[in-house]
Structure 1
Amino acid sequence: MAATEPRDEGRPDPDALLASMRQETRLDGKRADGRGRLTIFLGAAPGVGKTYAMLARARKLKADIVVGLAETHGRSETAELLDGLEILPRRRVPYKGRVIETFDLDAALARKPRILILDELASSNPEGSRHPKRFQDIEELLAAGIDVWTALNIQHLESLADVVANITGIRVREQVPDTVLQKADEIILVDLPPAELIDRLKEGKVYLPESARRASERFFRLGNLTALRELALRRTADRVDDDMVDYLKGHAIEGAWASAERLLVCVGGDVLSEKVVREASRLASGLNAAWTVVSLERADREPGEGAPARIDELLRLAERLGAQTQRITANDFVAELIRLARREHVTQIVIGAPARRRWPFFRRHSLADEIVAHVPGIAVHVVTGDLADAAAAVPRHRRARHPGELARAAAYAVVTVAAAALIGTGIQRIMPLSNVSLLFLMAVVVSAIRAGYGAAFLAAVLSGLAYNFFFIPPLYTFTIASPHEVFAFIVFLLAALLAGGLASRVSEQARAARARAAALQSLYDFSRKLSGNAEADDVLWAAVSQLHESFNRPAVLLTPQNGTVALAAAWPPDADLEVGDMSAARWAFEHKEPAGRDTGTLPSSRWQFRPMTSPHGVVGILGLRWDGEPFDGAAEPMLAAILDQTAIALDRARLAQQSIAQAARLQGDSLRTALLSSISHDLRTPLATITGSVTSLRQLGDRMDKASRDDLLATIEEEGGRLSRFVSNLLDMTRIEAGTLETRRDWIEVGDVIRAAVERCARYYPHLAIDVSIAANLPLMQGDSVLLGQVLFNLLDNAAKYAAGEPVKIFARAEGGEIVISVTDSGKGIAPGDLDKVFEKFFRPGTPDGRPPGTGLGLSIARGFVDAMGGTIKAESPATRRRGTRMVLRFPVPPGEARTPTP
């Protein structure tokens, strides 16, 4: 829409409508999305009456309310309000040699009241609890559909921790992420004037006398309470303003709109970045603006020691404070930030800058200076630090961090410069050398490559001194006689410093490139390994071995089974999970969030568990064990890549299994459809004939002559036989597919079985001519005479359908240690492409007259019976004179066991 076009009248904001629909209250008092509603009683300080207000409201409300935990702190008027309310029994846990009582989360979930009162939102849980913080217990209660009332003092908000410390001089240890307050469905401000609160403190209505005296001396001062009250009022006012804006948007009411501010916060691995994040959080809260925290890392430089871990901690802090986070790896930070700011419509940038040192002429431009100079139209907030922050922000390649690193750098510098001086002196004694300074320049470059910029700087200084002492007249002094030598010495020193800096930079970039290349090669090899594994078990074992190799930690993978997770692969194979570890793994699976070590859920576990998600849900849980060493944050991208690739591979394996199962279902549906079609067509005809004949006999039997009645009875008998054969075929195929077919291994005379099958066929096809030829001295064969007779009858029955009035020929002979039986018709024959298909279930090649009779099971059953007796069956077409079909049976005769029939 153009800027000059009028705005649509009466059109609500879609995002506001969606948010309103999710939070809409149903008839039963619950939210539309099934979550419980969170009500926070917010106060400026202890003693304003938050718990009292909660309990008083509970007594007035006629509802299913249970008190999970209420701290009265010895106040009698508050304790009286508990009378008549259901109180949940507390859980007793051992703690430091004594037993304490705490909130029982499992009991609350089992009771599942409509409303649960859970005091002290900012409290920590005893060690060994499922969650270390109470606000995490509340999140689980809300997810279970339980409404929660709780209380919070403003000083416990994480974004205000340093502000409260500056105001009161006390660092608040118990902190709550700002997102908890932002996600609350209702905030009730419990306010009390500071002077009245101090009077309550003196009267002993807040703390016991001794505690009240200490509190009045340190925390409960008029200025402190006034400042805290202002913070509480401001946060409540911001929330009211948000609710009003949402209402205006949802109801399309024109009015004053808040400016759409977006903040971009730049952080790194320095100590100043935490201050930047907290300042940006307060700024975003005051402006009611969305904000994004971006970590900046160079692609051509290794991160400083501990920097990845600090960046990870900063990003987690930013997320707790309500920010979105991103990572940027680039060489030109300014250009990358400009692109990001334009893409995200950023209006303000927040960045930190250390305190400036003296002699600004030699000071390098900071990133903040570059952003101010090159980012037009965007406000830039610079958060400054002190000189200590500036010293801590010096890059790794500009200073030695450990005494061992400094000693190594000094050793390289001294050794390389001494070697250059010795080589140069030796050459000078043999022949004059005008450019001996190149040897010292090489010493500087070698020191830079091997030990970094510190060694290069020291080598440059030592090289200048050695060059002056040994090679600039007057020799063996530090005096320079000629002016041009002074100039040459200065140029050499500058060139050495520059070459050392460039060499150390190139060396560091090469190391970073090698590390990234090794990581990429490892991921490439892992992806190739996964692409060659189609089974889920192979994928799991490949993943755990790769994780163990990449991070040198025991790794386990758990997969969903029957609504929970079970251990599927581990490396080393003897890695085990205890009860607490499995609880953390199940939590990660159920809530799709990390759990275990260094997380907010069951942090006492030795393992950290992370869910592997795909578009179809959680496909597995990864576990890595901590053995005292913290996880290197630089490895986080590789871990994320391995998790994503493993999740994709597991999802692919699952889809492959589903595809196979679906193909089997489709094949089964096809067979079932073919069977129903065959039965509906081939069984309906004889049933209709039998029904018509029976009806005729009943209605006209007494008026028919004997010949007509005999003809109808013969028809009934014939069609009944057809039905019997169809049913027998179906039962035989069922036995073959179920593997329940039992065969006898008797000595049988093939000629007798052939003649019995011919006689049986003659009863059903009296007009069919059958030529039988059985070789003399045909040996006996081991087999089942009943099954062989059924096979021959099925072949004769099939030949009769395609004989076209010509005789059917059946031959039996001995050939090469086998008994060969062939059944040949003189019909049209079978197409070459259908020779193998004729033995498939329900397949019928068709005739010029249309659909042939039968179910299409006869030849399939014949092949099943022949296979069961150890023989083979094959179709040949054309058979004779370019016509007909020949079915050839071959049965082996064991050497030395051949017998001939008894005359």
Structure 2
Amino acid sequence: MAEAGNEFERRPDPDALLALADREKRGKLRVFLGAAPGVGKTYAMLARARALAADGVDLVIGLVETHGRGETEALAEGLETLPRRKIDYRGRTLEEFDIDAALARHPALILVDELAHSNAPESRHPKRWQDVEELLDSGVDVWTALNIQHLESLADVVARITGVAVRETVPDRVLQDAAEVVLVDVTPDELLQRLNEGKVYVPDMARRAVQHFFTARNLTALRELALRRTAERVDDQMVDYLRQSAIEGPWATSERLLVCVGGDDLSEYVVRAGARLATGLNAPWIALHVERAGEEEQDAERLRRVDDALRLAKRLGADVERVVGHDLAGETLRFARRENITQIVVGRSHAGLLARLRRRSLTDEIVRRSDDIAVQVITESRANVAEGARPRRARSAHGEFWRGLGATLASVAFAILVAWPLDVWLRLPNLGMIFLASVVFCALAAGVWSAVAASILSFFAFDFFFVEPRYQFSISQAHEFLSLLVYTFVAIVTGSLAGRVREQSRAMRARAEAAQSLFEFSRELSSAASLDEVLWAAAVHAQKALDAKCVALLVPKDGELTISAAWPPIDRLDAKEEAAARWAYERGEPAGLRSGTLPNIRFEFRPLTTSRGVMAVIGLEPKAAPETPSAQSERMLTAILEQTAIAIDRSLLAGESVRVAALEESEKLRTTLLASLSHDLRTPLASITGAVTSLRQLGDRLADTDRLDLLASIEEEAARLSRFIVNLLDMSRIESGALAPRRELVDVGDAVRSAMERSRKEFPDLKVSASLAPDLPAIRGDAGLLGQIVFNLLDNAHKYGGGQASVYARRDGDDLLLTVTDEGLGVKPADLERIFEKFYRGGRVDGRKAGAGLGLSICRGLVEAMGGTVVAQSPAIRRKGTRIVLRFPIPPQPRRGAVA
């Protein structure tokens, strides 16, 4: 048992096995990693490729940049090379990697050089690493080359080391997901020698490179970065192997990092530092932004920086979270303790004096209150930041500043103008209240900082104009100075509180409007029954809520995306927009504007993902296309897409439930039909077969009366069988819609008498009486069908009516009333409607053979085909019997003397 327990405990890690299974579905990526250009990455890649080609491996060169190096060009000769795609851009012809040709060729292995390259503007993807991702998703193995400075998390470090800003970057996850990383390494001295020999760049470029980038100090630092990153990658591979193989060992995964993201210039720097720290510790990390109420409405530029930093963190592999609270430090620490965070990374920028006076430093507060969590403070060092890589400074909100300053000056000036005559005429002792009102006005109109400025300005204005000695900035009495200080303190506090209330009210109003908008949208979706109605509701609401053109595309049975709803109306999309929509549908990821696939088109396409997969695509064309949408717009769009996906699921489930109910009903009818056929066909056939057998075997030995009885039985059962088959044919004609009754004037009396005469021949033991009004009007219909209706009702009376039936017809207003009444046992009240269903036998049989349950169903179908109605009533007479009531509309009668 102990051995079994140990074997159970040493089972492979399920998450590691699932990750391995996911990687097996894709192509394998091999990255040749180097510290700098010229170390021989492309050369090593081509040398290994030639060896594989000699072994018969199907490989092609998708794109290789030799930079004029003869040795590298010699290795590429003889290998199949795809032609490059030519793009005309601003009068120049650019040559790019042809992703479509590579997918069409679909080799086992393809070589794509310079992974961090930016594609031409007209390309499908803006970056080459995205082309490689598409190749891997299609099952093609890819070899590529990359320099260490192009990793996203190391871009700012390389910029500080070399003084050169790195603009082309690759997300770290691309390297992490690679099946193999091959480090191509040479010493700095050897690389400098290669550079001087012209094996890296042409002579002019080589001299400039030695002076700027290719220095021994820079190359040594870059080499260390490449070696460290490769070692970390090998360590990760070893841990994965141990987990997949169930080999025991300690896993250093206890560290968890939390990176605090704010709206200042230091945010991206802090995120990159946190990513490097998490990578070095091999620990998961979370990027957290604590949002203060009213922050969105106050400073759009600050919010944009927060969004940029969070997007960067997501690209670097972090989990992104947002929380809302007034106590930023408290919310941060509560979140950290809830998520078992062991280290907090927070930045400290060089705030000005006014900023430090307005509020306590978040960094200092976190450090002071964090007793059990380590805090790492990242400071902004301008001396170590290269000019090209310096964090971007926010552009001051000039509009808000001047509006606030104007409100401050105007309110204080107005307070002076109001207080001056009151002081001259009334000599009021509390003129400070007027200035306090101006402070509150500034707080409500322009925010907290305007209220504080108005408080200080009011202090000096009140001292200058209304405190002795006047028109001087001096105070003669000590109590007046104390009163003025207390007044200023009260004004600042009141203004701050009023400004905070203003900000909170604006934030609450914005959230209430968003909640009301989503509530109305959910109501519209709840009433949308079909898929088209759901998509129309989503398109209209998204256009109204996001102020953007919206188009919803659905995939019908032919497999092509078509516009199902658009508001404002859009007839068609161009070829690139259709390609982006198809990409979003097939890959389940955003495409188009502000995405990594065809970002130059006007629409941003988002997939609508349900539990069944991607069901539709929503496209949005904003009126103004900013670099990044606001957080409020992004949350609104996410909510709309999620609710729409739920509504689509509900609509599909409703349609499936209807189909399932129809199938169940069809199965029920099929079972009933088979049971009815087995009984109603077998019984008359058995009677006919028995009678014929008796006549054939006994022949002349039968008495004449017995022979006549057998012949009568044959005739009766054959007639019964014939009626059953006729009923089945009539029902099939009604259900298929093939029944098209004539619309002629029908004499009801003649049709009723003809049916009664036929019933006397078929059912001689049924006693039928008739009461027909002498002035019966004609109706529009089919005389043959009307006679069939009456005959079926008399047939039903023969089976269930106790041997007595009566037919009654008269005019009732604008209708002709026709009833057939029997004196049988009647029908239960609950069965009065069900007796018209197919194969339902609801009547109480009084000893005669029951029918197949088709007669009354056929009657209803024929009556409705002629424009009439039919209902059943029971009891009919003397607390028994059943009455079938038919109503037919009477057409307008032609006037006498009118010409037909």
User: TM-score under structure 1 normalisation?
Assistant: 0.90
Q: Following the alignment from structure 1 to structure 2, what is the Cα–Cα distance between the partners of residues 498 and 893?
A: 87
Aligned: 1:648 with 2:639? no
Q: Following the alignment from structure 1 to structure 2, what is the Cα–Cα distance between the partners of residues 821 and 45?
A: 100
Alignment partner, residue 608 of structure 2: 612
Counting only pairs closer than 5 Å after superposition, residues 838-853 of structure 1 correspond to structure 2 as: 838-847=835-844, 853=850
Aligned: 1:23 with 2:20? yes
Q: Deviations over 1:68-117 (max 9, x none)?
A: 11222223332333344322222222133132322111111122222222
Q: Deviations over 1:813-862 (max 9, x none)?
A: 56667654433322111122222222222221143679962221111111
Q: Following the alignment from structure 1 to structure 2, what is the Cα–Cα distance between the partners of residues 361 and 592?
A: 46
Is 119-128 or 839-848 further displaced after alignment?
839-848
| Aligned 8 A contact 2:290 2:331 in 1 | no
Counting only pairs closer than 5 Å after superposition, residues 70-85 of structure 1 correspond to structure 2 as: 70-85=64-79
Aligned: 1:158 with 2:152? yes
Q: Following the alignment from structure 2 to structure 1, what is the Cα–Cα distance between the partners of residues 289 and 645?
A: 26
Is 142-151 or 560-569 further displaced after alignment?
560-569
Deviation at residue 133 of structure 1 after TM alignment: 0.5
Alignment partner, residue 787 of structure 2: 789
Is 94-103 or 778-787 further displaced after alignment?
778-787
Provide structure 2 residue ranges, at least 5 long, that are not aligned to the other structure: 385-393
Is 268-277 or 295-304 further displaced after alignment?
295-304
Alignment partner, residue 663 of structure 1: 661
Is 265-274 or 437-446 further displaced after alignment?
437-446
SS of the residue corresponding to residue 742 of structure 2 reads coil
SS of the residue corresponding to residue 350 of structure 1 reads strand
1:731 aligned residue (708, 725, 729): 729
Q: Following the alignment from structure 2 to structure 1, what is the Cα–Cα distance between the partners of residues 209 and 84?
A: 29
Deviation at residue 352 of structure 1 after TM alignment: 0.6
C-alpha change, 1:561 and 1:180, in structure 2 (3 Å) is same
Q: Following the alignment from structure 1 to structure 2, what is the Cα–Cα distance between the partners of residues 259 and 778?
A: 96
| Aligned 8 A contact 1:460 1:496 in 2 | yes
Tell me the amino acid that sits aligned with residue 232 of structure 1.
Answer: A
Is 754-763 or 310-319 further displaced after alignment?
754-763
Alignment partner, residue 352 of structure 1: 347
Alignment partner, residue 507 of structure 1: 502
| Aligned 8 A contact 1:13 1:249 in 2 | no
C-alpha change, 1:709 and 1:481, in structure 2 (3 Å) is same
Deviation at residue 594 of structure 1 after TM alignment: 1.4
Is 167-176 or 267-276 further displaced after alignment?
167-176
Alignment partner, residue 858 of structure 1: 855
| Aligned 8 A contact 2:436 2:491 in 1 | yes
Q: Deviations over 1:202-261 (max 9, x none)?
A: 333222333333223322222322222221111111111112112222333223432421
SS of the residue corresponding to residue 20 of structure 1 reads helix
Q: Following the alignment from structure 1 to structure 2, what is the Cα–Cα distance between the partners of residues 783 and 477?
A: 109
Q: Deviations over 1:661-710 (max 9, x none)?
A: 33333333333332223223222322333444556666666987777666
Alignment partner, residue 148 of structure 1: 142
Alignment partner, residue 371 of structure 1: 366
Is 269-278 or 782-791 further displaced after alignment?
782-791
Alignment partner, residue 292 of structure 1: 286
Tell me the amino acid that sits aligned with residue 591 of structure 1.
Answer: R
Deviation at residue 168 of structure 1 after TM alignment: 1.9
Aligned: 1:338 with 2:363? no
1:211 aligned residue (198, 202, 205): 205
SS of the residue corresponding to residue 541 of structure 1 reads helix
Q: Following the alignment from structure 1 to structure 2, what is the Cα–Cα distance between the partners of residues 754 and 342?
A: 90
Q: Following the alignment from structure 1 to structure 2, what is the Cα–Cα distance between the partners of residues 66 and 810?
A: 91
Is 764-773 or 189-198 further displaced after alignment?
764-773
| Aligned 8 A contact 1:464 1:493 in 2 | yes
| Aligned 8 A contact 1:291 1:323 in 2 | yes
Deviation at residue 121 of structure 1 after TM alignment: 1.0
Tell me the amino acid that sits aligned with residue 271 of structure 1.
Answer: D
SS of the residue corresponding to residue 6 of structure 2 reads coil
Q: Following the alignment from structure 1 to structure 2, what is the Cα–Cα distance between the partners of residues 820 and 475?
A: 107
Q: Following the alignment from structure 1 to structure 2, what is the Cα–Cα distance between the partners of residues 374 and 777?
A: 102
Deviation at residue 811 of structure 1 after TM alignment: 4.4
Alignment partner, residue 455 of structure 1: 450
C-alpha change, 1:711 and 1:451, in structure 2 (3 Å) is same
Aligned: 1:51 with 2:42? yes
Counting only pairs closer than 5 Å after superposition, residues 300-339 of structure 1 correspond to structure 2 as: 300-301=294-295, 302-339=297-334
Deviation at residue 501 of structure 1 after TM alignment: 2.8
Deviation at residue 122 of structure 1 after TM alignment: 1.0
| Aligned 8 A contact 2:408 2:453 in 1 | yes
| Aligned 8 A contact 1:560 1:566 in 2 | yes
Counting only pairs closer than 5 Å after superposition, residues 858-877 of structure 1 correspond to structure 2 as: 858-877=855-874
Q: Deviations over 1:24-59 (max 9, x none)?
A: 5xxxxxx77522122212222222222222222223
2:542 aligned residue (537, 543, 547): 547
Counting only pairs closer than 5 Å after superposition, residues 105-144 of structure 1 correspond to structure 2 as: 105-144=99-138
Q: Deviations over 1:835-891 (max 9, x none)?
A: 222222222114367996222111111122223334443323223322222333444
Alignment partner, residue 573 of structure 1: 569
2:687 aligned residue (686, 689, 695): 689
Provide structure 1 residue ranges, at least 5 long, that are not aligned to the other structure: 25-30, 390-398
Q: Following the alignment from structure 1 to structure 2, what is the Cα–Cα distance between the partners of residues 890 and 535?
A: 36
Q: Following the alignment from structure 1 to structure 2, what is the Cα–Cα distance between the partners of residues 155 and 79?
A: 25
Tell me the amino acid that sits aligned with residue 412 of structure 1.
Answer: A
Aligned residues: 879
C-alpha change, 1:278 and 1:131, in structure 2 (3 Å) is same
Counting only pairs closer than 5 Å after superposition, residues 153-552 of structure 1 correspond to structure 2 as: 153-301=147-295, 302-355=297-350, 365-385=360-380, 401-552=396-547
SS of the residue corresponding to residue 13 of structure 2 reads helix
Tell me the amino acid that sits aligned with residue 821 of structure 2.
Answer: T
Aligned: 1:60 with 2:55? no
Alignment partner, residue 740 of structure 1: 738
Tell me the amino acid that sits aligned with residue 740 of structure 1.
Answer: A
Is 159-168 or 201-210 further displaced after alignment?
201-210
C-alpha change, 1:744 and 1:612, in structure 2 (3 Å) is closer
C-alpha change, 1:12 and 1:235, in structure 2 (3 Å) is farther
Q: Following the alignment from structure 2 to structure 1, what is the Cα–Cα distance between the partners of residues 161 and 129?
A: 25
Deviation at residue 192 of structure 1 after TM alignment: 2.4
User: TM-score under structure 2 normalisation?
Assistant: 0.90
Aligned: 1:597 with 2:588? no
2:824 aligned residue (796, 821, 827): 827
Tell me the amino acid that sits aligned with residue 622 of structure 1.
Answer: I
Deviation at residue 357 of structure 1 after TM alignment: 6.8
Q: Deviations over 1:426-460 (max 9, x none)?
A: 22333332222222222222223222334333322
SS of the residue corresponding to residue 484 of structure 1 reads helix
Is 333-342 or 127-136 further displaced after alignment?
333-342
SS of the residue corresponding to residue 115 of structure 2 reads coil
| Aligned 8 A contact 1:11 1:252 in 2 | no
Q: Deviations over 1:511-554 (max 9, x none)?
A: 22332233333333333333343344444333333333333332
Q: Following the alignment from structure 1 to structure 2, what is the Cα–Cα distance between the partners of residues 504 and 230?
A: 53
Deviation at residue 776 of structure 1 after TM alignment: 5.3
Alignment partner, residue 40 of structure 1: 31
Tell me the amino acid that sits aligned with residue 240 of structure 2.
Answer: D
Deviation at residue 781 of structure 1 after TM alignment: 5.2
Deviation at residue 603 of structure 1 after TM alignment: 0.7
Tell me the amino acid that sits aligned with residue 732 of structure 2.
Answer: T
Q: Following the alignment from structure 1 to structure 2, what is the Cα–Cα distance between the partners of residues 815 and 432?
A: 96
Q: Following the alignment from structure 2 to structure 1, what is the Cα–Cα distance between the partners of residues 91 and 759?
A: 95
Tell me the amino acid that sits aligned with residue 144 of structure 1.
Answer: S
SS of the residue corresponding to residue 561 of structure 2 reads strand
